[in-house]
Chains A and B, each alone.
Chain A
Amino acid sequence: APLQAKPGPYKLDEKLTPKEAVTSYNNFYEFGTDKSDPSNNAGDFKPTPWTVKVDGLVGNPKEFGLEELMKMPIEDRTYRMRCVEGWSMVIPWIGFPLAALLDQVEPQGSAKYVSFETVVRPEEMPGQKGLFQPLPWPYVEGLRLDEARHPLAILAVGLYGETLPNQNGAPIRLVVPWKYGFKSIKSIVRISLTEKQPETTWKNSNAREYGFYSNVNPAVDHPRWSQATEQRIGEGGFFSTARRKTLPFNGYGDEVASLYSGMDLKANY
């Protein structure tokens, strides 16, 4: 459905990735592991009605209905998206700062982290049933509270002027543009504030390859492939792939590098 939003504070002078690519080249293993599986298999998924439960170390735990979330201060946010697999896109999201939601539940002083959880619905998500399950469900992710409060971190409810397509994480997902794409968890049903660092799905699956931070970093290779360059999806062609240098923090270093001052980013990958 069409979705109107006011212009946001971050501008990006890069060509948008075509909508067709943004909505048909996805990693969303709940619908299958091929890039085309999510767009092919997400037709039965029902993103409404929807509630997001926000609990944990908060003064005001609350369940947000989707209608209420859509009334948050939503705005246009065009961000680069860099997948850990070495490809990237430029996506015009519509969303609101995660901080705005966190403010409503009044985090306690002891809260240090935010954990997120994706819905489990095997009957609507074919990747969650069958013999070979690539990952354990639910998919879980997490951020440090200061990362979650950073103005760049948003909960997205739309892209390209419309509500989120199912394959992109309908009806509500996280977008953290300075981290690898898998941190931006989709179809969120629960957000909890915790004192301990939360479990994260890919770290549990292979801790050596996928760290808790997973900030985009061309200087730290994935153990099995280089992260120095990326392929911009939708640009170039069969005989000329559009490879470009990957930027530290995916080009958002000016905004976010201070979150990690004094940290060894090679050890905290």
Chain B
Amino acid sequence: MAIVPALPRKLHGPSIWALYVIGLCPAVWSFYLGASGGLGINPVKEFEHLLGLWALRFIILTLAVTPLRDLLGINWIRYRRALGLLAFYYVLMHFSVWMLLDLGMDLNAVFADILKRPYITIGMVCLAALVPLAVTSNNYFIRRLGKLWIDMHHLIYPIALGGALHYFLAVKSVTTEPFIHIAAIALLLAYRPLRKPFLRWKKARKTVDSPQPAHR
């Protein structure tokens, strides 16, 4: 059941690098617009918000890899590391722009906000939790940590939840854009507990359906 045509094996590597390049385009383009006066009246806030939105989008794509394979048979697992790392880079840029450009490196204000504002506290915890995931995203740590690596990288679930909550708490009212992003994360997280029973059911159906050999 192949919905999308399979990519020739020799293009797997280059396609991952292409994903990094394409994935960083929104940041580069928004930065260019901001620095050249094209992001409107309040360019720093706009840039900050765009980076945050893209961080959420890459978290959504990262979480979508598994259900896409289970439900539609599209195996894009080779892109998951790049998607996760792109999410991390965007969270890091989102934070840096807030600290450097928005608050102008006023560290008192930065720490006061992190401690006092729940949505900023949540955002900060998510960024901190992403650091070990990014550091251990390479093949060396995957081999080295084994089962622990898998457990550890399940941290992406609370991080995604935190990201959605951060967004929900930061807006004055939940309009279409926040709703769509938050709903996507909620759906993808809700799929996780359903996954095992679903796969069991799928496997059972396959065994029943598959034709028995006519002769032994």
A contacts, CB < 8 Å to B: 20-21, 24-25, 29, 33, 35-36, 85, 87, 131-132, 134-135, 205, 221, 224-226, 228-229, 231, 233-234, 237-241, 243
Contacts and interface: CB of A to CB of B under 8 A. Distances in A.
A234 B175 contact: no
B102 A132 contact: no
B18 to A, nearest CB: 29
A224 B35 CA distance: 29
Contacts of A25: 40-42
B101 interface: yes
Given A85-B172, A134-B175, A224-B119, A239 B42 contact: no
A240 to B, nearest CB: 7
A21 B175 contact: no
Size bin of chain B's contact surface: 20 to 34
Given A25-B40, A134-B173, A224-B169, 14 more contacts: A24-B41, A29-B173, A35-B41, A35-B42, A132-B174, A205-B173, A221-B116, A224-B118, A224-B170, A225-B113, A226-B117, A233-B41, A238-B35, A238-B43
Interface in B84-114: 101-104, 106, 109, 112-113
A134 B37 CA distance: 29
Contacts of B42: 25, 35, 87, 231, 233
Contacts of B34: 238
Contact of B44 (A21, A134, A238): A238
A241 B41 contact: no
Which of A135, A238, A239: most chain B Cβ within 10 A? A238
Main secondary structure of the interface of B (DSSP, over half): helix
Contacts of B35: 238-239
Interface in B18-68: 34-35, 37, 39-45, 47
Nearest to A222: B117
Contacts of B103: 243
Interface string B144-188: 000000000000000000000000011011111001000000000
A238 B118 contact: no
Contacts of A135: 173
A35 B43 CA distance: 12
B40 A36 contact: yes
Which of B43, B113, B172: most chain A Cβ within 10 A? B172
Contacts of A233: 41-42
B104 A243 contact: yes
Interface of B: 34-35, 37, 39-45, 47, 101-104, 106, 109, 112-113, 116-119, 169-170, 172-176, 179
Nearest to B43: A238
Given A33-B173, A229-B109, A231-B42, A224 B117 contact: yes
27 contacts: A33-B173, A35-B40, A35-B41, A35-B42, A85-B172, A132-B176, A132-B179, A134-B172, A205-B173, A224-B118, A224-B119, A224-B170, A225-B113, A225-B117, A226-B109, A226-B113, A226-B116, A226-B117, A229-B109, A238-B34, A238-B37, A238-B43, A238-B101, A239-B35, A241-B44, A241-B104, A243-B106
A83 to B, nearest CB: 10
A136 to B, nearest CB: 11
A241 B101 contact: yes
Contacts of B173: 29, 33, 134-135, 205
A101 B116 CA distance: 44
A226 B112 contact: yes
A132 to B, nearest CB: 5
B118 A132 contact: no
A190 B91 CA distance: 46
B43 A21 contact: no
Nearest to A231: B42
Given A224-B170, A238-B101, A239-B101, A131 B109 contact: no
Contacts of A243: 103-104, 106
Contacts of A132: 174-176, 179
Contact of B41 (A21, A221, A225, A239): A21
A23 to B, nearest CB: 10
A237 B117 CA distance: 26
Nearest to A22: B41
A35 B118 CA distance: 25
